[in-house]
Structure 1
Amino acid sequence: MNEMQTKPQKMPFSLAITTKGYNEMISRSIRDPKDVKRFVAAITSAVAVNPALQDCDPATILSGALLGNSLGLSPSPQLGQYYLVPYWNKKKGCNDAQFQLGYKGYVQLALRSGYYKHLNVIAVKAGEMVRFDPLTEDVDFRMIEDEEEREKAATVGYLATFEYLNGFRKTIYWSKEKMLTHADKYSPAFSKDAQTVRGKGGNTYRKVSFADYEAGNYPKQDEWMYSSFWYKNFDAMAFKTMLRQLISKWGIMSIELQTAFEQDTVVNEDYMEPADALTPAPVELPEPELVHQMPADAPADAEEVVNLNDL
């Protein structure tokens, strides 16, 4: 009986989205038939190129995609406006897809609100930040002009700034070390320093420090331990963190941006930090994790990897 009950969750999304119930759900949210066709084609394509999403409950994929559509954002991973990210739902015993706003989505929604004249976030390279006064927010920044040289230079921090149409400006700067500490604190899948982790079967594994990971100093068969986007695309996650810090504390948020902000969190309390940590307040905001399931090549007992120091 249990096996029969899980079959609908295994139905390919390309088939599930054609069923009557799903069609009715889409039609209630998207009125124009042409827009419906574009939406179905876009989300089906996004799922087709992501094997991890194909294993998710189709209803959660559709729910996240409809939220993204209501915000006027594209599901294309290449655009980076939002993502449908798999995570393991222990209560349901299956993978669910969770809506996650990308940093480019934050930029799109903020600029679209009509309050912002300018909004930007960049990686600061070695030698570029001459001086930053956090009190006056005066910045003495000298960008490396040669693009190739700048690309090769080490990232030492992140700078985010906005300007309202009325002229009000706000700028914040974080060193890379501060960003690493933030990621280590709020992302269960990321480790700033080397550590030993243990799977539910009792086997132990050794994760290298992030510095060693960046340098490629780790066994390639252990790649499954570094599936977090903080490993795969640290700068993109750092950009998102900076924008969340900047906008949540000092920015004006439209209804759309507030909605995206509230939904940009994973509800799996067994894995993620408490939801109240996302409340806009004068505290550091945790970042929603972008990768929540173990890759297919992970050891069988590695699904519940935890820090031995927490045991």
Structure 2
Amino acid sequence: MATNQTLKNQLANKAKNTEAAPPSPAQTIAAYLKKMGPEIEKALPKHMDADRMARIALTTIRTNPKLLECSVPSLLGAVMQAAQLGLEPGLVGHCYLVPFKNGKTGQSDVQFIIGYKGMIDLARRSGQIENIYAHAVYSNDEFDYELGLEPKLKHKPYMNGDRGEFIGVYAVAHFKGGGYQFEFMPKEEIEKRRKRSKAANAGPWVTDYEEMAKKTVIRHMWKYLPISIEIQQQAAQDEVVRKDVTAEPEPVEYIEAEAFEVPMESEASEASQQEEIVFDAK
């Protein structure tokens, strides 16, 4: 027969076991994002949903553990930057949240970088562009590029195996009123621009080199496109960090790049399902 002391010990152990565990870093960020919901909704374009943006951001954060080691204000600031530009972070390729070691403060912060698809999306918002795209060129492709009074661009990718070495990227924009603009940039020029980036050796320049090369050419072509000053200013908010959600974006300085990996689709899908549970439970 159980004694009173035994019953007391059992009840005490049960109470101890049922105590809530401290929240994980991901749960803490989820709570912050949930609280930021109204502000994210105000910042987003009308066609985008605040809950979806928060879930995508949290999936991106969970699938890159180094983001959880960064300062919370800069992480939330990067999410708000994405919301204000109406770009979705992560595997979609609109934009990236890149962890880096701030050599000035000694802490890890988050850098916001616009991706190739993000630049395409921003360009199309002008309403003056019918279509815009970029393609990589390899040494085994058939490629004919010529400037002068009669510019010419012809590209036939090699389809029978290895396309060879990467030699450059071209971008083309077709205007709604007719006409087009195209630009080709060889690998050497792309490399010069990559090396000027604070994130030259980390983030998407490492994991998505071709996509970043495409973005570089499109961004260079912008000065020839019918794009509003507002959208040009939005595109200029690239490779920046925000100290918190209310701060203005600033260029990154004193960067000491840390490892950055883009998660596999299966990992992102699993994390996305977890986030659905987290948000539904709150």
User: TM-score scaled to structure 1, two decimals?
Assistant: 0.62
Cross-structure match for 2:225: 251
Cross-structure match for 1:171: 182
- Secondary structure at the residue paired with 1:135? coil
Pair 1:133–1:86, CA change in 2 (3 A): same
Cross-structure match for 2:65: 51
**What CA distance in whole angstroms lies between the structure 2 residues aligned with 1:71 and 1:91?**
28
Pair 1:189–1:90, CA change in 2 (3 A): closer
**What CA distance in whole angstroms lies between the structure 2 residues aligned with 1:120 and 1:58?**
35
- Secondary structure at the residue paired with 2:194? helix
Cross-structure match for 1:5: none
Pair 1:35–1:233, CA change in 2 (3 A): closer
Deviations along 1:53-96, whole A, 9 cap, x unmatched?
11111222222212212322222x21100011112223433111
Cross-structure match for 2:112: 99
Which amino acid in 2 is paired with 1:263? Q
1:158 aligns with 2:151: no
Cross-structure match for 2:138: 125
**What CA distance in whole angstroms lies between the structure 1 residues aligned with 2:208 and 2:34?**
35
**What CA distance in whole angstroms lies between the structure 2 residues aligned with 1:48 and 1:175?**
36
Deviations along 1:25-72, whole A, 9 cap, x unmatched?
43234159x944333322211100011211111222222212212322
**Which structure has the bigger radius of gyration?**
2
Pair 1:137–1:268, CA change in 2 (3 A): farther
Choose which of 258, 262, 273 in structure 2 pairs with 1:294: 258
**What CA distance in whole angstroms lies between the structure 1 residues aligned with 2:27 and 2:172?**
41
Which amino acid in 2 is paired with 1:238? A
Cross-structure match for 2:156: 143
**What CA distance in whole angstroms lies between the structure 1 residues aligned with 2:254 and 2:137?**
35
**What CA distance in whole angstroms lies between the structure 2 residues aligned with 1:265 and 1:259?**
13
Deviation, 1:14, is 2.7
Contact map agreement 1:103 1:240 (CA 8 A) in 2? yes
Cross-structure match for 1:265: 239
Give 5+ residue unaligned stretches, structure 2: 1-23, 241-250, 261-282
Q: Percent identity?
A: 26
Contact map agreement 2:146 2:152 (CA 8 A) in 1? yes
Choose which of 27, 30, 50 in structure 2 pairs with 1:14: 27
Cross-structure match for 1:285: none
Which amino acid in 2 is paired with 1:68? A
**What CA distance in whole angstroms lies between the structure 2 residues aligned with 1:154 and 1:227?**
22
User: Counterparts of 1:36-115 in structure 2 under 5 Å?
Assistant: 36-75=50-89, 77-115=90-128
Which amino acid in 1 is paired with 2:61? V
User: Counterparts of 1:172-187 in structure 2 under 5 Å?
Assistant: 172-184=183-195, 186-187=196-197
Contact map agreement 1:14 1:44 (CA 8 A) in 2? no
- Secondary structure at the residue paired with 2:257? coil
User: TM-score scaled to structure 2, two decimals?
Assistant: 0.68
Deviation, 1:187, is 3.9
Cross-structure match for 1:28: 39
**What CA distance in whole angstroms lies between the structure 1 residues aligned with 2:153 and 2:95?**
33
Pair 1:254–1:14, CA change in 2 (3 A): farther
Contact map agreement 1:110 1:254 (CA 8 A) in 2? no
Which amino acid in 1 is paired with 2:185? W
